Chains A and B, each alone.
Chain A
């Protein structure tokens, strides 16, 4: 049943990418029915009424699918509830008098833009470097011409469920993006449609990933933080494909 609680917030405030940030303390009363972001909405409304600038925080769909939201809550990406984005977290997870520390996702390749907002554009650059199957509009054959075993389609879907929120990078002690990159690679490599460019794609996307992000040392924190519970096995899948790609791509160029 709904009750009203008071939480003590420590929120990271930082005016711009090049200014120094610090924690500010706030106290907020809220019903436990409210979502975490509605609690921040309410805080912002009150700050605005007092003539203080609201906390910059991003969210969009508030249904856990667009990947826009995401902050560190008490040191955990997206907060304490497993398989839950920040927007789907509710205040019933907290108790009266709790201290809640709210920070932006921390990673060298995700610079802070303002307060809790970070720049995750390197993810788009990884996709740009090969995260697609090259088929021009109109060039597709009938969809049922190529049967795909249900198991393969299901595995592709499991990988494709990634929402690109960046929690994996934020949770990783090395700020590695292996879970994100491997999810996209495994999605496409599981399907017959993705075979033609498989090896080129793997080498290119891994290369771009390594330009921006740290190395994976198998902590598994990414999977723990992932709101879609993307499987760690995809990283092994990517590593295996990357090795093969190094050989196959060389062989292919040798044939040319």
Chain B
């Protein structure tokens, strides 16, 4: 069924052995000479790790860059919240790490659903990122000798993760942000804050610009360029409750999709096992606690159903340390997806803990007894403080309560080896694209990919796409393609304000999130997905007829901004259900209950599904076309993951 020979998608993976592909490609790509670069306008949307690093690097090369963020400052992007670290194959620990090992771990961790060539390139440039960030003044953790420190992370048996306390994302983002601000100062990057992309404009099949709305004045503006780069992050907020920031959304990627950019693997979403469970019905977002806690915490639930005793009153023999029992080799350190599904199982069975019975315990009492209070505090002090400030409970005395939450989305805009989408001249980088993590992302790899794309891949590949445009002026913004797009956005804005229904945008977002979480969350089945499709469609109809957006279009209007984002989430959710339905296998973050081993583990179907599913937009309420990019594994042998 799903498998058909595809003639539309060309991944443009270069020839040659795995190790030579990127080198060869760099040599064979067309170049734009330094004096000509200033003749090209490049738009970069989003100023997180990927966007800021790309804008800075392109500005340094001499391109005329326009950078856009919908925040008040580029430094607010959600990359800033990444805690754990960034992987790089430096082998500073002399523990046998190498580019090939990082490549291999990432392919395996992604459950064999990513492109070998892309992942190998990612591993190759990973080491340059650490050099670059260090030179920018990113204060990575150091040993007493003054050299960089590393720690280990899930899914790897070597220490290759560089970190800056629990704020690695913040420090890397501030590095990229400062590099970009340097180019703003130099005049090569023109910065537009509080500007939200609402449309991607194409002419004769090529991307020629964007339409933005100024979030303060409401003005809808057309911007023209020779190339457009989307660095607008992932779509985890389709679940309403996620660890994403409140404003994170799919709008830029989705509007590009509606203009012809294929959207790949939307059903690949990642659940993070250690988040603080929701405490009430108006919970607005979930907070992640670093995965590193599982190194010392023991996960358990009461054996009894609906046990309302406090943790310390439950004797040892009435506790179920379910991960340690089920996976004696990895215990509490099984990968994210395995830990998450098991937590869901025990809570669904009625063993959940906390006032809402929606969590499992992560208990440090044994570690505190073994290593002492001060040792645990030195390792996890800031995390324990954060937990206490959110929950009001002291994790030194009572076990933490944790539950999985949506954290990252591996799916995204389909791109070729050059990071170009199916629209020539339109690129997607960072979490916004689908490229390197397959069906599951390893810890500390998101920062690596965002910066790899922005610093070391796109600045090379974009020239290849621009070289033959030399001498072509950018399409003027009074061209009908722009004026029509601007009109379309103005109409959309007035539409939201005129519906005048009875319920808020947030209400619909929350209801949508519930449907997506229940049916396209940690585990999926055919019946649930069919149900999700019809219920999402019905709720979408209700949204379009009953949402109430107050105020006007020419001032700061937060509900108006959000209405457009939520409408895009509705369409995305429908596609996620369809994608999950047609991927009749379990892999990584996509777990289909119909496809599991006798031990309840994910069961891939390599014969029929070793491919990328890339969806082509048709029109509203019409089933999208599923295109297939076959994944070829020439270097790695596909195996079933086992953590027993």
Q: Which residues of A contact B (CB under 8 A)?
A: 1-2, 15-16, 31, 33-35, 37-38, 41-42, 44-45, 48-49, 51-54, 56, 58-68, 81, 84, 88, 90, 92, 113-114, 117, 119-121, 123-124, 127-144, 146-150, 153-154, 156-157, 160-161, 163-164, 187-188, 191, 193-194
Indicate the size class of the contact surface on chain B. 35 or more
- Selected interface stretch from B76-84, B96-104, B483-491: B76-84
- Selected interface stretch from B140-148, B153-161, B429-437, B570-578: B140-148
- Chain A's nearest CB lies how many Å from the CB of B509? 11
> Within the assembled complex, what's the spacing in Å between the Cα atoms of A141 and B548?
56
Return the 9 tightest CB-CB contacts between A and B, nearest first. A147-B146, A140-B135, A132-B178, A143-B134, A140-B131, A157-B139, A137-B57, A156-B139, A33-B279
> Within the assembled complex, what's the spacing in Å between the Cα atoms of A194 and B175?
12
> Within the assembled complex, what's the spacing in Å between the Cα atoms of A124 and B177?
10
Residues of B within 8 A of A142 (CB): 131
The answer to whether B146 touches A150, judged by C-beta atoms less than 8 angstroms apart, is yes
> Within the assembled complex, what's the spacing in Å between the Cα atoms of A93 and B625?
53
A34 and B455 in contact (CB under 8 A), knowing A59-B246, A84-B389, A114-B556?
A: no
> Within the assembled complex, what's the spacing in Å between the Cα atoms of A86 and B179?
29
> Within the assembled complex, what's the spacing in Å between the Cα atoms of A188 and B174?
12
> Within the assembled complex, what's the spacing in Å between the Cα atoms of A94 and B80?
30
The answer to whether B280 touches A45, judged by C-beta atoms less than 8 angstroms apart, is no
Please, could you name 21 A-B residue pairs with CB atoms under 8 Å apart, sorted by A? A16-B555, A31-B280, A34-B279, A34-B283, A35-B390, A63-B81, A65-B81, A66-B80, A88-B389, A121-B72, A136-B57, A140-B131, A140-B132, A140-B134, A143-B90, A143-B135, A144-B147, A153-B142, A156-B137, A160-B137, A191-B137
Q: Produce 1/0 per residue, B108-151, CB < 8 A to A.
A: 00000000000000000000101111111101111111111000
A49 and B502 in contact (CB under 8 A), knowing A61-B80, A139-B135?
A: yes
Residue B247, interface by CB 8 Å: yes
A-B contact sample (9 more), CB < 8 A, given A66-B245, A67-B75, A127-B181:
A16-B555, A38-B284, A48-B550, A60-B71, A61-B80, A132-B182, A141-B131, A157-B165, A163-B170
Residues of B within 8 A of A136 (CB): 57, 60
Contact of B179 among A63, A120, A130, A132 (CB under 8 A): A132
Residues of A within 8 A of B247 (CB): 60
Q: Produce 1/0 per residue, B475-493, CB < 8 A to A.
A: 0000000000000000000
The answer to whether A38 touches B283, judged by C-beta atoms less than 8 angstroms apart, is yes
Nearest opposing residue in chain B for A68, CB measure: B76
> Within the assembled complex, what's the spacing in Å between the Cα atoms of A15 and B552?
11
A148 and B146 in contact (CB under 8 A), knowing A65-B80, A114-B556?
A: yes
The answer to whether A88 touches B390, judged by C-beta atoms less than 8 angstroms apart, is yes
- Chain B's nearest CB lies how many Å from the CB of A88? 6
> Within the assembled complex, what's the spacing in Å between the Cα atoms of A41 and B509?
13
The answer to whether B559 touches A54, judged by C-beta atoms less than 8 angstroms apart, is yes
Nearest opposing residue in chain B for A131, CB measure: B178
A60 and B555 in contact (CB under 8 A), knowing A128-B181, A150-B146?
A: no
Residues of B within 8 A of A138 (CB): 128, 132, 455-456
The answer to whether B506 touches A124, judged by C-beta atoms less than 8 angstroms apart, is no
> Within the assembled complex, what's the spacing in Å between the Cα atoms of A41 and B470?
51
A193 and B80 in contact (CB under 8 A), knowing A45-B504, A160-B171?
A: no
- Chain B's nearest CB lies how many Å from the CB of A232? 20
A137 and B287 in contact (CB under 8 A), knowing A41-B282, A49-B504, A164-B75?
A: no
The answer to whether B141 touches A153, judged by C-beta atoms less than 8 angstroms apart, is yes
The answer to whether B137 touches A187, judged by C-beta atoms less than 8 angstroms apart, is yes
Q: Which residues of B contact A (CB under 8 A)?
A: 53, 56-57, 60, 71-78, 80-81, 90, 92, 128, 130-137, 139-148, 164-165, 167, 170-171, 174, 177-179, 181-182, 184-185, 191, 193, 216, 245-247, 279-280, 282-285, 287-288, 355, 386, 389-390, 392, 455-456, 459, 502-504, 506-507, 548, 550-551, 555-556, 558-559
> Within the assembled complex, what's the spacing in Å between the Cα atoms of A123 and B177?
13
The answer to whether A132 touches B136, judged by C-beta atoms less than 8 angstroms apart, is yes
The answer to whether A120 touches B181, judged by C-beta atoms less than 8 angstroms apart, is no
The answer to whether A143 touches B246, judged by C-beta atoms less than 8 angstroms apart, is no
Residues of A within 8 A of B392 (CB): 90, 92
Nearest opposing residue in chain A for B556, CB measure: A114
- Chain A's nearest CB lies how many Å from the CB of B512? 16
The answer to whether B185 touches A128, judged by C-beta atoms less than 8 angstroms apart, is yes
Residues of B within 8 A of A146 (CB): 134
The answer to whether B137 touches A194, judged by C-beta atoms less than 8 angstroms apart, is yes
A137 and B550 in contact (CB under 8 A), knowing A62-B285, A132-B182?
A: no
Residues of A within 8 A of B131 (CB): 140-143
> Within the assembled complex, what's the spacing in Å between the Cα atoms of A105 and B184?
27
The answer to whether B78 touches A42, judged by C-beta atoms less than 8 angstroms apart, is no
- Chain B's nearest CB lies how many Å from the CB of A139? 7
Residues of A within 8 A of B139 (CB): 153-154, 156-157, 160, 187, 191
> Within the assembled complex, what's the spacing in Å between the Cα atoms of A30 and B90?
51
Nearest opposing residue in chain A for B53, CB measure: A137
- Chain B's nearest CB lies how many Å from the CB of A81? 8
Nearest opposing residue in chain A for B57, CB measure: A137
> Within the assembled complex, what's the spacing in Å between the Cα atoms of A2 and B143?
44
The answer to whether B136 touches A193, judged by C-beta atoms less than 8 angstroms apart, is yes
- Chain A's nearest CB lies how many Å from the CB of B577? 27
The answer to whether A113 touches B280, judged by C-beta atoms less than 8 angstroms apart, is no
A61 and B78 in contact (CB under 8 A), knowing A51-B550, A133-B137, A160-B139?
A: yes
Residues of B within 8 A of A193 (CB): 134-137
